[in-house]
Amino acid sequence: MRIICILVLMLLSSGSSSIGDSRNVSTRPDVVNIGALFSFHSMIGKVGKIAVEAAIKDVNSDPSVLGGTKLNLTLHDTNYSGFLGIVESLRFMETKTVAIIGPQNSVTAHIISHIANELQVPLLSFSATDPTLSSLQFPFFIRTSQNDRYQMAAVAAIVDYFEWREVVAIFVDDDHGRNGIAALGDQLNEKRCKISLKVPLKPDASRDEVTNALVKVTLTTSRILVVHTYESTGMVVLNVAQHLGLTGPGYVWIATNWLSLLLDTNSALPPGSMESIQGLVALRLYTPNSALKRKFVSRWTNLTNGKSSSGQLGLSTYGLYAYDTVWMLAHAINSFLNEGGNLSFSNLSKLTWTDVGALNLNAMSVFNGGRALLQNILDVNFTGITGPVEFTPDRDLIRPAFEVINIIGSGERRIGYWSNYSGLSIVPPETLYSKPPNESSLNQKLYDVVWPGQAAEKPRGWAFPNGGAHLRIGVPRRVSYQEFVSQVEGTDMFSGYCIDVFTAAINLLPYTVPYKLIAYGDGLTNPRTTELVRQITTGVFDAAIGDIAIITNRTRMADFTQPYIESGLVVIAPVKKLNSNAWAFLRPFTAKMWCITAVSFLVVGVVVWILEHRINDDFRGPPKRQVITILWFSFSTMFFSHRENTVSTLGRLVLLIWLFVVLIINSSYTASLTSILTVQQLSSSVKGIETLVSNNDPIGYQQGSFTRNYLIEELGIHESRLVPLISIEHYVKALNDGPQKNGVAAIVDERSYAELFLSTHCEFSIVGQEFTKNGWGFAFQRNSPLAVDMSTAILRLSENGDLQRIHDKWLMKSACTSQVSKFEVDRLQLDSFWGLFLICGLACLLALAIYVFQMLRQYSKHYSEELESSEQTSRSRSRSKSLHRFLSFADEKEDVFKSRSKRRQMQEASVRNMNGDNSADSSRKYDNCDADGTY
């Protein structure tokens, strides 16, 4: 029936060509038409054309590949034109082509992919590397070489390896360049790097246009330049860069694989071109060495004889991927035919209602088996001259890898490899696939690089602004606390703790930093540090050093280094000596602690008395004596001098736990009292910032400090209460005068200043806790690489001890160090001991519960008869009598109770024995009686 339907369709068809294409699916075709689109005069096109033709010849000469079916290749030259590429691709659709190798560039691939989607013809491109072509928008586009996303990951890994943070991207502003640089930006972001400047170029940019574009590069501070262009444009860029002085020492040029394509394809570059690429780092698609590859490389000379008029044509990696692309397609077609695939075509339904005029679009047809062939291509798995050929679920070739090369002299030197498996390494990637992946920074490795200008030292990657002129660094001209920073009188030099830290850090940098320190302030008052930082944003200064606290609003204006000293706001207040008095022994504990402790002594004494009263003579006697015994026993345990012995197990348990509690209390009391009596105590009416917030006393602060804004904005203190103070003398006078004489109750200042002030003024002290946390750092312009390098240098100063030595040199004063004093030793609170009291209380309760249970059991056992008889009396009298009897039982000594119980038991036994004798006599009398009733 199927054959009849096909015959009917053949008769109804208007074109004779469709008759030949509707054959029985079981018949394997003799020929399969495929096409190829290249620019025959481009470097990729020249190499690709030869490699594809060689592969077609090899496939057709091997009957085991396609089982006798031949590949019929049709080549079309796009001549560098996207428009011609579209036209030539449409011509393929008129010849019943099942697949197209190409197009060569990404721009044409974007357009032709739309046609391939409609006609369901797979496109296999070995040179269109735009990452966006892998999107779901183009299901019939298949990249048979590596995605530029991986190449940009390799570039980002190189930038991160050498610890650079910003790059300049120079690229051709088309789909290939623009989308490649977008991928580079994404990869750099993952490494916490970025593109600081993008320099787009026209695809056919002239030398003057390139020159105008590169002038922007000379104005930037970044010296890491990434070039992602075509080979012809790339050489123009480097020649112009050499003319502008951009290829000398300090610059780094990283070229994507366009440069390796140029070097591989041309036998030798002109001396002028070689000179402009000295010291460059470039990437090359990596293909592992194998017997298949060596065999093809040895054939290349014969394949290219007479094919190029400009000399020997070299073999680039694109040629290797072009050769494997044909074999990939051949394996896929073979699988397609083996699965019963039919090389049939049908009219494009979307053209049925379209007036196509004279375009002859009706000749185009849809490949009915296109989706099946596409899946067969994606399922291929074989080993080619480029290595294992297999696709990932993302439709990229497996194991992407690149060589990293360095251009030196008249040649190149491989300095390492990159793969997405283990990152940068100096061993070939295939040797790492058998090991666990390791992309840690410690595992990344490259050989040494010879940089532009024959420099062996790694360039820092950026330049100072203002064309390399001296950095203008603002320094506050302080009036007070000149130990931190001060200007040497009569000179433009500065000294102090902050200056020494800055000098030591900048001397640790691996490069020289020209700078000039410029005073900021009038020398009469302390300048506002926030305004100094703001001068960086306006371009007055390039940086600022000194006692600059790192706070939120300043970080919005500049980048800060790692803090080189910790600081924070504290309260300074007058203190007075707290002399000992007759009642000093009560100060270690609070009133609540004393009360709870006293009650605990009494409770434990009562509990032990209850547990011991019935069995221990020490706890018996007249009521007055027993009360005295309880009090004496309770408080004598404080000194472990109690004379009464505990007999019961429960009593000993309670006493053991209580003695442990007493031990802890005694030790704590002794330690606290010793501190109070031997260490000088200080007291102040101001307890901390909470006291200042709650009252209305005036508060002093250092003029120019951020303290004023913090107290107003964060703590809500009215500005009328704030008194600016300039010098240390002002500090002393304001604190001594106090609020009553127009002084201040306390001063809020940063801890670094406070410690220096208190080192020579012992009558004042820091009260309360530090209520902010910050540090001092050096400020630089936003995104300045110098801030990062200076942070590293400060950390090194901290690690090697130099930072502490500088601190001791400037800030260690000894005027008050001989006075050992404390500010109001904290009294011992109940919170520190409630756990002990809780344990002791639970032990008492447990012991009492067990004791009462035992007593009730004894009471119910030995007085059960009396309890039964008491039930016959009235209920009220019974309860009263029972309670009285129980209390008497509880007060009775246990030995008396036991002896009375024993006597009662003996009496009961005696009664039972007498009753038993009477019964026996009766029995005997009955046995001696006659039958008539006589004895």
Tokens linked to 284: 């090359």
pLDDT of res. 884: 67
Lowest mean pLDDT segment, chosen from 195-209, 607-621, 654-668: 607-621
Please state the rounded mean pLDDT for residues 42-50.
Answer: 91
Q: How far apart are CA 791 and CA 772, in angstroms?
A: 22
Cα angle at 693 between 689 and 697, to 5 degrees? 100
Same domain, 236 and 340: no
Taking 50 as the threshold, does the pLDDT of residue 235 lie above it?
yes
- Looking up residue 490, the CATH number of its domain turns out to be 3.40.190.10
Please state the rounded mean pLDDT for residues 198-222.
Answer: 92
Please state the rounded mean pLDDT for residues 333-360.
Answer: 71
**Gap between the terminal Cα atoms of the chain:** 136
DSSP β-ladder status, 345-347 and 365-367: antiparallel
pLDDT of res. 862: 63
Taking 80 as the threshold, does the pLDDT of residue 710 lie above it?
yes
Residue 324 lies in a domain: yes
Please state the rounded mean pLDDT for residues 248-275.
Answer: 91
Same domain, 385 and 510: no
Taking 80 as the threshold, does the pLDDT of residue 629 lie above it?
no
Please state the rounded mean pLDDT for residues 298-307.
Answer: 85
Where in 157-262 does DSSP place strands (E)?
A: 166-172, 194-201, 224-228, 252-255
The partner residues of 171 in beta bridges, in order of sequence, read 200, 228
Residue 607 lies in a domain: yes
Please state the rounded mean pLDDT for residues 268-280.
Answer: 89
Query: What separation in angstroms does the CA of 255 have from each of 20, 166, 199?
Result: 51, 16, 14
Taking 50 as the threshold, does the pLDDT of residue 19 lie above it?
no
pLDDT of res. 108: 87
Cα 255 to chain center, whole Å? 31
Stated as kind and residue range, the H or E segment containing 550 is none
Checking phi first, is residue 878 left (phi over 0); if not, alpha (psi -120 to 50) or beta?
alpha
Burial of 45 (C-beta count, 10 Å sphere; 0-12/13-18/19+): buried
Same domain, 415 and 371: no
Band (pLDDT 50/70/90 cuts) for residue 876 is very low
Residue 837 lies in a domain: no
As a whole number, the mean pLDDT across the chain is 83
Taking 50 as the threshold, does the pLDDT of residue 241 lie above it?
yes
Residue with tokens 């009188």: 489
SS3 686: coil
Taking 90 as the threshold, does the pLDDT of residue 88 lie above it?
no
Burial 214-233 (b: 16+ CB within 10 A, else e): beebeebbbbbbbbbbbbeb
pLDDT of res. 666: 83
Taking 60 as the threshold, does the pLDDT of residue 459 lie above it?
yes
Residue 491 lies in a domain: yes
Same domain, 618 and 630: yes
Measured on CA atoms in the order 738, 743, 747, 753, is the torsion positive or negative? negative
The domain boundary residue, chosen from 755, 773, 791: 773
pLDDT of res. 475: 96
pLDDT of res. 872: 46
pLDDT of res. 601: 82
Residue spans of alpha helices (H) in 461-558: 497-507, 529-537, 552-555
pTM of the complete model: 0.69
Q: Which position has the higher pLDDT, 319 or 925?
A: 319
Same domain, 663 and 767: no
Please state the rounded mean pLDDT for residues 426-439.
Answer: 88
CA nearest 218: which of 194, 201, 191, 199? 199
Lowest mean pLDDT segment, chosen from 611-625, 737-751, 792-806, 907-921: 907-921
Please state the rounded mean pLDDT for residues 286-313.
Answer: 85
Lowest mean pLDDT segment, chosen from 295-309, 324-338, 473-487, 899-913: 899-913
Same domain, 73 and 122: yes
The domain boundary residue, chosen from 656, 678, 700: 678
pLDDT of res. 819: 46
Q: Report the number of distinct structural domains present in the chain.
A: 5
Taking 70 as the threshold, does the pLDDT of residue 719 lie above it?
yes
Please state the rounded mean pLDDT for residues 681-707.
Answer: 86
Q: How many CB atoms lie within 10 A of CB 522?
A: 10
Taking 50 as the threshold, does the pLDDT of residue 461 lie above it?
yes
| DSSP single-letter state for residue 680 | E
Q: How many helices (H) and strands (E) does the chain have?
A: 31, 34
Q: How many CB atoms lie within 10 A of CB 486?
A: 20
Q: How far apart are CA 438 and CA 421, in angstroms?
A: 8
Each residue's pLDDT tens digit, 278-288? 999 999 999 99
Tokens linked to 582: 């007759």
CA nearest 334: which of 145, 60, 36? 60
Domain range enclosing 730: 682-773
Please state the rounded mean pLDDT for residues 846-858.
Answer: 82
pLDDT of res. 592: 83
DSSP β-ladder status, 123-125 and 141-143: parallel
Burial of 465 (C-beta count, 10 Å sphere; 0-12/13-18/19+): middle
Residue 575 lies in a domain: no
pLDDT of res. 674: 74
Taking 70 as the threshold, does the pLDDT of residue 302 lie above it?
yes
How does DSSP assign 109-127, residue by residue?
A: HHHHHHHHHHHT--EEESS
Same domain, 425 and 500: no
- Looking up residue 374, the CATH number of its domain turns out to be 3.40.50.2300
SS3 860: helix
Same domain, 271 and 413: yes
Same domain, 226 and 259: yes
Q: How far apart are CA 789 and CA 646, in angstroms?
A: 75
Same domain, 153 and 278: yes
Same domain, 702 and 673: no
Please state the rounded mean pLDDT for residues 711-732.
Answer: 92
On whether the CB atoms of residues 346 and 31 are closer than 8 A, the answer is: no
The domain boundary residue, chosen from 620, 649, 678: 678
Residue with tokens 């394997």: 28
On whether the CB atoms of residues 391 and 378 are closer than 8 A, the answer is: yes
Residue 486 lies in a domain: yes
On whether the CB atoms of residues 229 and 172 are closer than 8 A, the answer is: yes
Band (pLDDT 50/70/90 cuts) for residue 21 is very low
Band (pLDDT 50/70/90 cuts) for residue 341 is confident
Residue 729 lies in a domain: yes
How does DSSP assign 771-782, residue by residue?
A: ---EEE--EE-T
Residue 453 lies in a domain: no
Please state the rounded mean pLDDT for residues 516-528.
Answer: 92
Same domain, 186 and 233: yes
Taking 50 as the threshold, does the pLDDT of residue 631 lie above it?
yes
